[in-house]
């Protein structure tokens, strides 16, 4: 028996559900997001999750490299008015900066290699953070209109580092943090120290889209639990 074809709407719902399962807190938090922005926000966050999973999941980088290569082609298509992925039905018409995001994807793969220190870790993701700010300025009401805003880009880079930490644990920490903590400090000690450092250096939040600010607050809450050794709480 041939399985029934999955409709575009069902495929989209599947990717949105996958993200919502990862972020159950959003079910409560999204009541503070304008109704007209909720689907766009969930689609945007689901896209970022797909990219982060491709870059940071697993010990072998090759499958992720192939996925990010596919996404680079897909995002380039969005910039030209074409789309294949279900998330594109919501996101593609809403921004003109998809080529900028596509060009920044190699930074995600490069970030698998540990940075020397915190400043270098943030700088390595700066191009991706800038692309995110440019897109979010178009997706959400009230978002910063200056895609080159240093403050907004610094916050997005910090959020990327936090996401990488929650995905990779100790392996996400810069070499300087690993050297300071040492290998004999106990399980997950390096990740906890890196989480504490990220929280302590989190840039002031500039004006921006409410969905992004809310998700950043949820991300920082998870980071605080991680720093306290309660990652699963």
Q: Going residue by residue through the chain, which has 233 residues, state the pLDDT in tens, using 9 for 90 and above.
A: 434 445 678 999 999 999 999 999 999 999 999 999 999 999 999 999 999 999 999 888 899 999 999 999 999 999 999 999 999 999 999 999 999 999 999 999 899 999 999 999 999 999 999 999 999 999 997 555 444 567 889 999 999 999 999 999 999 999 999 999 986 677 789 999 999 999 999 998 766 789 999 999 999 999 999 999 876 55
CA distances 125 to 2, 80, 90, 118, Å, are 44, 25, 26, 11
- Evaluated on CA atoms 109, 113, 118, 123, the torsion sign reads negative
How far apart CA 152 and CA 15 sit, in angstroms, is 27
């Amino acid at each position: 028996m041939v399985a029934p074809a999955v409709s575009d709407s069902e495929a989209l719902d599947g990717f949105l559900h996958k993200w919502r399962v990862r972020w159950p807190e959003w079910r409560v938090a999204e009541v503070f997001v304008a109704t007209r922005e909720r689907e766009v926000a969930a689609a945007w966050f689901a896209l970022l999750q797909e990219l982060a999973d491709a870059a940071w999941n697993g010990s072998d980088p090759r499958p992720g490299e192939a996925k990010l290569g596919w996404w680079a082609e897909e995002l380039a298509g969005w910039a030209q008015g074409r789309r294949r992925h279900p998330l594109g039905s919501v996101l593609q018409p809403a921004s003109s900066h998809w080529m900028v995001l596509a060009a920044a994807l190699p930074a995600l793969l490069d970030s698998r290699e540990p940075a020397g220190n915190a400043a270098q870790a943030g700088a390595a993701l700066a191009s991706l953070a800038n692309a995110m700010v440019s897109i979010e300025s178009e997706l959400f009401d009230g978002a910063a209109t200056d895609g080159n805003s240093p403050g907004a880009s610094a916050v997005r880079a910090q959020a990327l580092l936090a996401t990488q930490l929650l995905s990779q644990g100790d392996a996400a920490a810069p070499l300087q943090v690993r050297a300071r903590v040492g290998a004999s400090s106990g399980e997950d000690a390096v990740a906890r120290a890196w989480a504490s450092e990220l929280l302590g250096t989190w840039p002031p939040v500039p004006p921006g889209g409410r969905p992004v600010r809310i998700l950043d607050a949820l991300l920082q809450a998870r980071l605080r639990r991680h720093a306290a050794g309660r990652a699963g709480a």
